[in-house]
Structure 1
Amino acid sequence: MPTVHAHHFVCRHIGQNNPTTLAAISGKRTKRSAFTLVELLVVIAIIGVLVGLLLPAVQAAREAARSMQCSNNLKQIGLSLHNYASTYREQFPNNGYSWTGGYPSDFSPLAKILPYIEQGSLQELIDFDIYMGHPALADLPEGLREAAATRVPTYECPSDVNADLHGLTMPSGAETQIAGASYAMNHGSGTNNVYHPVYESDGLCWIDAKVGFRDILDGTSNTIVFAETVIGQGIDIATATPAMDVRGYRAKVTAVDQTLADAADAGGLDAIQANITGWNGDRNHYWLRGSVPNGPVMNGRLTPNSSVPDMTYGSSKISAARSNHIGLAKVCLADGSVRNVTDSIDREVWHASWTRMGREVETVSSND
């Protein structure tokens, strides 16, 4: 009996002062409440896999939304063109007017349609009687700088990564800010050796143009009026090599002519490499002016998102519709409809869609 009492006393004493020891003595185990390192790593790995699976879907959904907004922008621009024509005797906005003894007064078509995209207050900042002069000789007049530095949401594709204000160094050396556009009006197909937006071509927009619906003999549903392009990155490169990203840069070449365009068709970048002297990043930086090299007027000489860069010499240019949408670029037809044009479109069909009276059978509309 004394032995039993002693054992009872010891167990009771230990239990009061050390429950863990008591549990061990009685054969019971405590419950764990934490992960082991291996379990934690497995959970992290599973979360990483799930994020990896979901991220492309999220990105695709966001791009689909941006693409839809881009189409809406072009749709609004197309409708504004119709409203403008209704106001001005069925004529489309042109690229400006001749100026006696000097560079044209080249207010762009985008500057003229502002009231029809609910930007009337912005157009009130533009005095169309102000002569801007030659861009290489005269600074942008003070009275136009506020308008030039105003971004217009309808003119910018949400997928255009360079849609922003960009610095413009004027002839005096002074700096000002200008805003660009992700869309440009149809100057022509670029197949007729006309590359300077001052001169009449087979499209719809140039200096002193008086083109309207009646002049589109190919039909408004078969003729491109605005095409998507991309705003340049804004930095000039003084050397010909290495070749730059064609979405952000245009190649400066020794001359823009039919020979160079044909060489690009036949041999791609390699065929024109010897003609490249450098690269500029100012594509479409300037929605206010149309005839300047960085204005929103273009030709369709190169197919959409061509691997051949746009080429410039002065204000002359060989250009392509370009976008950050995968595998396509968007265009607005003269009937106001918007089309997605794939990069693989036939070159002849593409060129036919830029002419107003080429009488071609197939266009982007017949390739939906």
Structure 2
Amino acid sequence: MGFTLVELLVVLTIVALLTALLLPAVQSAREAARRAQCGNNLKQLTLGMHHYHDQIGAFPFGFSTLEQSWHAMLLPYIEQEALYRTLIFQESGPGNWDSGSANTKACQTVIPVFRCPSLPLPEHVDHDIPQRVPNSYNGIASSSAASDDLSTVPAGYPRVALEQIDLDGMLYGNSAIRMADVTDGTSHTVLFGEMHTNPDFQKDGQSMDYWQIGLPHTATWLPGGIGGTEYSEALASTLVPVNGWKDSTLPGMVMELGCGSYHPGGAMFGFVDGSVRFLSETVDHQLYRSLGSRNGQETTWP
């Protein structure tokens, strides 16, 4: 016996209702899997940092006078030594990041551990360097930095910028922080934070753009902590609340220094002890700020 039209409509309605009920669960499961992979990426990065420290005796710099970011120095410790060996450590000629040299190709190479699977961007974006690869994870430079350089720190914010040396975080210009320097405790100090990477999202002329390996705009930086800009392409500050990009009242130069993500409600962080935690965007701000300092003796994470 065949179905009547009414029966068929009833069946279709039930199927539609079941689909509507199941779809959020499927999407939630997929996001949970992506978040787990994001956490695994950060775990690999923190362990790579530990191997680097074991070999060298200190963590790598956040960026250098030759415009490399910490991503470049970590390559041999995340199974990318062959790529590391192609890098040209000079500023002129083939050392330029947009010259089409091996340095350019390194910035164009997709390295999965630097990318959160929830990042909805293409693998390559033309931005200062052709076909540049976006990055999802920045090093934590400071608990107080409010801009890339002192000349653009907004009124009312701490006079601290990413261009300065001797910041209180783990990675900054020409830094070489040792485990022994982390007097707040390795489980209470953040090494990496996830970023809400989106070069098309701008505020006050500042893009939320974060990149791997090469930082061309830092070219004129001097070890004394002056010159250059756009250190926020690889570094972050816990002065800015988690997912500060949502706060339209923040100045753009402050906003771009903040960690965030495409995960609902917070972002993933890698700690100096190698642990990885998801921090809510509602976490107490002063407590969160304290995690960005290695030696501030502030209130510690419970």
Q: Does 1:177 align with 2:131?
A: yes
Aligned counterpart in structure 2 of residue 285 of structure 1, from 201, 204, 211: 211
2:226 alignment partner in structure 1: none
1:205 alignment partner in structure 2: 171
Match of 2:269, SS state, is: strand
Q: Does 1:73 align with 2:34?
A: no
Residue by residue, what CA displacement relative to the aligned partner does 1:302-339 show, whole Å, maximum 9, x if unpaired?
111133257555xx875221011111211111011011
Q: TM-score, normalised to structure 1's length?
A: 0.69
Q: Give the direction of change, closer, same or farther, for the CA distance of 1:148–1:188 in structure 2 (3 Å limit).
A: same
Match of 1:339, SS state, is: strand
CA distance in 2, matches of 1:359, 1:285: 32
Task: State the identity %.
Answer: 30
Q: Does 1:94 align with 2:55?
A: no
Which segment drifts farther, 330-339 or 187-196?
Answer: 187-196
Aligned counterpart in structure 1 of residue 203 of structure 2, from 248, 251, 260: 251
Match of 2:14, SS state, is: helix
CA distance in 1, matches of 2:9, 2:163: 62
Q: Which amino acid aligns with 1:251?
A: K
> Are the aligned partners of 2:62 and 2:171 in contact in 1 as well (CA < 8 Å)?
yes
Match of 2:233, SS state, is: coil
TM alignment of 1:294-313, pairs within 5 A: 295-306=233-244, 307-308=246-247, 311-313=251-253
- Stretches of structure 1 that go unaligned for 5 or more consecutive residues are 1-32, 98-103, 171-175, 236-248, 253-277
Structure scoring higher RCO (CA < 8 A, sep ≥ 6) equals 2
Q: Does 1:151 align with 2:79?
A: no
Q: Does 1:108 align with 2:69?
A: yes
Q: Which amino acid aligns with 1:42?
A: V
1:130 alignment partner in structure 2: 90
TM alignment of 1:314-325, pairs within 5 A: 319-325=257-263
1:190 alignment partner in structure 2: 144
The structural deviation recorded for 1:119 is 1.3
Match of 1:47, SS state, is: helix
Matched positions, count: 273
RMSD over aligned CA atoms reads 2.3
Aligned counterpart in structure 2 of residue 141 of structure 1, from 84, 90, 99: 99
Match of 2:296, SS state, is: coil
Residue by residue, what CA displacement relative to the aligned partner does 1:225-265 show, whole Å, maximum 9, x if unpaired?
10011221x33xxxxxxxxxxxxx2422xxxxxxxxxxxxx
The structural deviation recorded for 1:286 is 4.1
CA distance in 1, matches of 2:13, 2:66: 63
2:284 alignment partner in structure 1: 346
The structural deviation recorded for 1:361 is 2.7
> Are the aligned partners of 2:62 and 2:234 in contact in 1 as well (CA < 8 Å)?
no
Q: Give the direction of change, closer, same or farther, for the CA distance of 1:330–1:47 in structure 2 (3 Å limit).
A: same
> Are the aligned partners of 2:31 and 2:118 in contact in 1 as well (CA < 8 Å)?
yes
The structural deviation recorded for 1:37 is 1.7
> Are the aligned partners of 1:95 and 1:198 in contact in 2 as well (CA < 8 Å)?
no
1:47 alignment partner in structure 2: 15
